[in-house]
Structure 1
Amino acid sequence: MAHEDRYGLPLSTASDEAASAYREGVDLMLAGWTGTAETLERAIAADPDFALAQIARARVHAFYQQGDLARQKAARAREIVATRGTERERSHVETLALAIEGRLPDAIAAMSRHVEAWPRDAVVLSLPLGAFGLFAFSGMPDHDRARHELCERVARHYGEDWWFLTMSGWAMTENGDVARGRAVTERGFNLRRANAHAAHAVLHAMFEDGSIEEADRLVDDWIPTYGRAGILHGHILWHQALGALEHGDAAKALRIYADVLQPSATQAPPLNVVTDSASLLWRLSAYGHSVPQALWLEADGAAQKLFPKSSLPFADVHMALFAAATQNREALAARLAVIEQRLAEGKLPAGPVVPAICRALAAFADEDHAACVQALAPVLGEVVRIGGSHAQRELIEDTFIVALMRSGDLSRARTLLDARLHRRPSMRDTRWQAALA
């Protein structure tokens, strides 16, 4: 009997065990659940010439910045599928391989062609979705809308599929349709609770509609079901730490940091290690809470090993947080020089917003708040181009607001905070009360 994936697409393997393990492994990957790598390895062991299992395992290697292993498995998958595989599988392997190699424009073009021909290929459809997907890191200013529109185009092919509801609901939320996005995401979450991407997406909706206490309860109730090795374990607790900060509870945020976000404690992928630690420590400091310098130095040391060179703009911005907070002007100047060279050569799709943010963060750390405001004001509308989620990018607006306050421009700070309160009317944010009193 011919084997198929969970979406009814044929699989080129004769092994029942390989097909079964692949289906399970893909579901675990789409759910961000523990055991993904081990399950895909079982599929490969059962059939070493199963190209889709090889490329899926390569993608998980890429999540953890295991570049050599990812490229080796991608090359093996390409080799296999050239002689053993359908047209759909060849396109599937090639699209994922391009993404693994960091060839974003080529990967986006291949993904678009593939989804047009095989809209129910969820693994390929997953590539542009989410805060760290191809669209988010493309530099495009409308990546939130692009994800939403893509999901709308293929929705009829998925119905009440738990994974698709999760991702399409989150795309709605990030594109500004928060109430609908939350409802759709919660439908997906209720269909499969062992789904870290759904828990995460619901937390984003709760962040946007100001349901901080409800988000806190969700994390407390759900996180015990999710292993610490889960790809989103630390990041989900990062969301809880943000909620604590909105209520001025720095002690709770620091406890969460020490437990699961500190580089010596976390099991997260490298990009999350750097972005979650840098952004939480920076927020704590910006809101007026004391952050031991030893925490900054430890996290910066780990980050320098993970991202020694300029790479993704989203990573570069968070590396600039470390350099600014530790007063490592040499590291920041070196990274800025590379970023500006790439910009001059037309190789920085996110554009001038990246060096502008880096310069603004350095000015903020130097307590030159007027210079921070001057650097950020012209590019605030372009911050979306660095990628990530709205909740993550709000760090930049928060820095701008604090810089306005400290430079004496309370009127503009009030205007921005009033706009935020209009977006999130149920939010009871205590961070700014002292400064605006």
Structure 2
Amino acid sequence: MNVRKDSLGNPLSGAQPSSVQHYEQALHQFQCYCGDPLATIDAAIAERPDFVMGRVLHAWLHLLGTEPLGLPVARDDLEQARQWPANPREQAHLAAIGRLVDGHWHAARRILEDLTLDHPLDGLGLLAGHVLDFYVGDARMLRDRITRAFPAWSPAMPGYHALLGMHAFGLEECGAYARASASGHAALLLEPRDAWAHHAVTHVLEMQGRQHEGIAWMRDRQRQWAEDNFFAIHNWWHLALFHLDLGDTASVLELFDSAIAASQSPLALDLVDASALLWRLHLLGADVGARWQGVAERWQAFADSGHYAFNDAHAMMAFACAGRSEAIRTLQAAQQRAMQGDGDNARFTRDVGAPLCQALLAFVEGHPARTVELLRPLRGIAHRFGGSHAQRDLIDLTLLEAALRDGQLALARGLAAERVDAKPGSPAARVLLRRAAG
């Protein structure tokens, strides 16, 4: 029997030439965060319903956005794929998907880790594992999962740009900024539309406080990351952060209105960015008008899910600032249920998500001392509920502002000094240090 293979030599059960072509196109779109990979993989499945990796990619696309509504779709993909013969590599993908739909994020990552140790040329396995490493805040594996695969690859192989881009982000989260920048730029030379590689370089510029370079970097490459790209809103958020660090709140609000909120995206990943940006403005005392109401309205569908603690925290920001008392109670009840479950989100919520939500609510209600009390223990463990250093910086910013408002100036001075040391050229950090000086 003639077994079809992808361009890297991975056998594909139930495939025919056109379905392989659709699969590889969808994977490339997913690696670049461009186009419509769901429509592309749907075409492959329509041609061959028994194409196992078609179902696998379809499931991962629905799972890796942290959307609660993606779970039943992935379960259906799993049931469909298990009807057909599958090779051991494909069976490992299905096992990882099965663990994730049951809420076991770490078990899914371990299966994918072993899969790509045995099959380092499985680009989808590397990508799915990398994204899950991000969601659980495992910076070392963000880097090392990819590092382990490099000996099997060469620059001429399709998808090598994605390997470089993922490695760049892992390096950045581990603080290896020069190497991260080099790897990200190398990826973009191979594939200019690789939004994850662009994003990795952006993170380097953000972490080093290179605001003007960051704005130029984003604007010079805007066509590559902002057009037909489902990672665009997050990259717009990064551009807004550079302006925010310079104290240019007018540009931040303009970017929020024209790029982040204008799409009215209902997706959790986009709503996280909307909440995170408005919260930073809230900490500064900026007038954001009725903007919180629109964001809170779109978060409403997630209030009862208890699916992922990182999302819950950003929903709480919106509900608290928009005065949505019923939504707050619904979210808190969902968190209580989540903490009683056996999935990994029980720990995400218990360790970080629930106390963070309490702290955010206390801050909005005018209780800065309680905010400080709740946030100080979270600083060293916040990575446990996912996100990047840049995203979790919101916790430190909130702690610092609460300390200032409560008159805990020694703590505020220490926190501000940390920020100035990390970003000596940051005007925003200097402002905080001056305020803490009293």
The answer as to whether partners of 2:62 and 2:74 remain within 8 angstroms in 1 is yes
Q: TM-score, normalised by structure 2?
A: 0.89
AA aligned opposite 2:273? D
Query: Could you tell me how far 1:200 is from its partner in structure 2?
Result: 1.2
Is contact 1:247–1:431 with CA below 8 Å preserved after alignment? Answer: no
* CA-CA distance at 1:433 after TM superposition: 6.4
**Are 1:173 and 1:205, in contact at CA under 8 Å, matched by a contact in 2?**
yes
CA RMSD of aligned residues (A): 2.4
CA 159–101 in structure 1, closer or farther in 2 if over 3 Å, else same: farther
Q: Deviation at 1:228?
A: 4.8
- The equivalent residue for 1:353 is 352
Structure 2 CA distance for aligned equivalents of residues 148 and 226 of structure 1: 23
How big is the shift at 1:71? 2.7
Match of 1:286 in 2: 283
Q: State the match for 1:186 in structure 2.
A: 185
1:341-378 Cα distance to aligned partner (Å, 9 max, x none): 54466752223332221111111111211111111112
What's 1:398 paired with?
A: 397
Residue 70 (str. 1) matches residue 88 (str. 2): no
CA offset digits 1:219-256 (Å, max 9, x no partner) = 21222234655220111001111111111111111111
Matched, 1:149 2:144: yes
1:15 corresponds to 2:12: no
Contact 2:113 2:129 in 1 (8 A): no
Taking the aligned partners of 1:122 and 1:96, their CA distance within structure 2 comes to: 16
Distance 1:309 1:49 in 2: 32
Contact kept, 8 Å, 1:96 with 1:124, in 2: the verdict is no
Report the Cα offset of residue 298 of structure 1. Answer: 1.5
Q: For structure 1, which segment, 372-381 or 385-394, has the greater mean C-alpha deviation from structure 2 after superposition?
A: 372-381
Equivalent residues in 2 for 1:163-202, closer than 5 Å: 163-202=162-201
**Shift of residue 171, structure 1, vs aligned partner:** 0.6
Q: Identical aligned pairs, as a percentage?
A: 26
Q: Secondary structure at the match of 1:151?
A: helix
Instruction: Report Cα offsets for 1:88-119 as digits up to 9, x if no partner.
Output: 22222332343355432431232132122212
Unpaired segments of 5 or more residues in structure 1?
Answer: none
Contact map agreement 1:270 1:306 (CA 8 A) in 2: no
Give the drift of 1:315.
0.9
Residues 277-316 of structure 1: pairs in structure 2 closer than 5 A: 277-292=274-289, 294-316=290-312
2:314 paired residue number:
318
1:99 correspondence with 2:96? no
Q: What SS class does the counterpart of residue 380 from structure 2 fall into?
A: helix
Cα distance 1:345–1:303, how it changes in 2: closer, same or farther (>3 A)? closer
Q: How many residues align?
A: 425
Return the offset for 1:431.
5.3
Change (3 A) 1:35 1:340: closer
Change (3 A) 1:354 1:45: closer
Q: Distance in 2 between matches of 1:36 and 1:171?
A: 24
Asked if the contact 1:34–1:229 (Cα under 8 Å) also holds between the matched residues in 2, the reply is: yes
Paired letter, 1:91: A
Residues 327 and 365, structure 1, Cα contact 8 Å, conserved in 2:
no
Give the structure 1 partner of residue 60 of structure 2. Answer: 59
1:43 corresponds to which letter in structure 2?
A: A
8 Å Cα contact 1:55-1:97 kept in structure 2: no
Amino acid at match of 1:286: L
Paired letter, 2:417: D
Query: Aligned partners of 1:287 and 1:158: how far apart in 2?
Result: 47
Give, in angstroms, the shift of residue 334 of structure 1: 4.1
Q: What amino acid is the match of 2:76?
A: Q
SS of the equivalent of 2:100 reads helix
Q: Is the 8 A contact 1:54 1:74 kept in 2?
A: yes
Aligned to 2:49: 48
Distance 1:311 1:59 in 2: 16
Mapped to 1, the partners of 2:190 and 2:35 lie a distance apart of 18
Unaligned runs of 5+ in 2: none
Equivalent position amino acid for 2:281 in 1:
L
Q: Which amino acid is the alignment partner of residue 77 of structure 2?
A: K
Q: C-alpha distance in 1, partners of 2:13/2:305?
A: 40
8 Å Cα contact 1:4-1:11 kept in structure 2:
yes
State how far apart, in whole Å, the 2-side matches of 1:42 and 1:408 are.
61
1: CA distance, partners of 2:15 / 2:379? 54
Question: In structure 2, what residue type is equivalent to 1:192?
Answer: E
1:226 and 1:202 mapped to 2: Cα distance? 13
Q: How far, CA to CA, are the matches of 1:231 and 1:97 in structure 2?
A: 26
Matched residue SS, 1:398: helix
TM-score by length of 1: 0.89
